[in-house]
Amino acid sequence: MALTSKWHFARVELARSYIDQINSGLSSIAIFAERRKGKTEFLVEDLAPAASKAGFRTVYINFWEQKSDPVHCIAKGVERSLEQGSKQDNQGFAYESLELLLKPKREVLLMFDEIQHLATDVKFEELIATIRTFLDSNKNRVRAVFTGSSQSRLNSIFRHQKSAFYRGASLVDFPDMDEKFIHHLLSVFKSITTTMLNETRANVIFEQFNYSPFLMVDLLQTMMREGMADFDVGLDYYVKTNNPHQQWQQLWRELKPIDQLVLTQVIGQQRPLYHDETYQLVGDLLGIDEVTRGMMQSSIKRLKDMDIVNCVARGAWEIESVEFQQFLIDEL
Ligand SMILES: Nc1ncnc2c1ncn2[C@@H]1O[C@H](COP(=O)(O)OP(=O)(O)OP(=O)(O)O)[C@@H](O)[C@H]1O
Ligand SMILES: [Mg+2]
């Protein structure tokens, strides 16, 4: 494991509270938070060390390590945990890989990062069932933490009755970081540059960044590199050189016109999706004679598959990312 970065803000209490939860009955928990909110850093830098101290063997598995092959991702995670570094009998099936963990009689904490990836292809269903079976068969010794960044995909894994993971984990909150995090970052900045930045201003910026630790750390590291000692100068430079909205702009440009309208005119305005007036409006804006229910259905399906929207209740949709929603309000 890499040396902890000096920018890292330790979330000791949060780690302890999760460990308490998995020790007191909820043997598996699922954590959901938006992209770049600090899930991975938390798992690796805070939860794993705390769990080791509490006596667990910890295993970090990331399904994005090799997206086409989740079994390989499990084997890699197990291999890292066993610290053997060799590939010997560890390339086989997921269940055999996981069983290697049980050999020394210790409790095991499995951390599955990017679990939503398993909801992207039906061919991964069997693996979901394998993991569930492993967890159920060894529930007195094995705990699991699942992490994902798509609410709808997590729902499809843990809340759909047909899924093998149905009720396989309790969804728990992953809170945003607060002023203590900002205070810590500014202390680090000061220790490197001797400049003490304005803390009130930093907190406002953090809020504007939708509490993204990534953007905040990136801004401060940029200011440090460029020798900037003032947020007015730093933020201006950062936004110009590093437009945080760039990814959203690109995503927006890639959408079909009808999908853009469904996002801004229907979901953004809370209009009913399947309604004659909505079809009329979208048709007028697209400049075509007829918009059908089928066209709306296909549009919403595309948006859902791209993880842009999330079905919160029957017929009710919301934009999954608060940042993207803000982009739509600000830029369009
Ligand atoms: N506790 C922390 N202390 C300091 N910086 C942090 C912390 N957590 C996250 N960061 C910063 O935010 C960045 C993104 O964090 P991380 O990769 O853990 O997010 P994530 O939620 O796993 O994102 P994704 O969903 O894209 O995988 C880190 O590279 C780091 O710069
Ligand atoms: Mg991550």
Query: Is residue 307 within 8 Å of 317, Cβ to Cβ?
Result: no
pLDDT tens figures, 155-180: 878 887 778 888 888 888 899 999 99
| Mean pLDDT of the 124-130 span | 91
Q: Do residues 311 and 152 make contact, with C-beta atoms less than 8 angstroms apart? A: yes
Question: Measured from the CB, is residue 222 less than 6 Å from ligand 1?
Answer: no
- pLDDT for residue 100: 79
Chain segment 11-48, per-residue pLDDT in tens: 999 999 999 999 987 789 999 898 899 999 999 999 99
Tell me if 81 sits within 8 A of 92, measured CB to CB. no
Beta strands in 25-83 (DSSP E): 28-32, 56-62
On whether the CB atoms of residues 31 and 39 are closer than 8 A, the answer is yes
pTM of the model: 0.80
Residues 6 or more apart whose CB falls under 8 angstroms from that of 140 comprise none
| Residue-averaged pLDDT of the chain | 89
Stretch 84-100: mean pLDDT: 65
CB of residue 8 inside a 6 A radius of ligand 1: yes
Q: Whose CA is nearest to atom 1 of ligand 1?
A: 9
Spatial neighbors of 74 by CB under 8 A, at least 6 apart, are 61, 94, 97, 98
pLDDT tens, 271-307? 999 999 999 999 999 999 999 999 999 999 999 888 8
Structure tokens belonging to residue 309: 């929207």
Ligand 1 closest atom vs CA 41: 18
**Does the pLDDT of residue 236 top 50, yes or no?**
yes
> Is 189 a pocket residue for ligand 1 (Cβ < 6 Å)?
no
Burial class for 251, CB neighbours closer than 10 Å (0-12, 13-18, 19+)? middle
The residue-averaged pLDDT of 77-100 equals 72
> What does the pLDDT average to over 251-277?
94
State which H helix or E strand residue 148 sits in: strand 142-148
| Strand ranges inside 52-117, DSSP E | 56-62, 107-113
DSSP 207-223: HHTTT-HHHHHHHHHHH
Q: What percent of the chain has pLDDT over 90?
A: 62
CA 64 to centroid of ligand 2, rounded, Å? 9
User: Which residue's CA lies nearest to atom 12 of ligand 1?
Assistant: 214
Residue 41 Cβ inside 6 Å of ligand 1? The answer reads yes
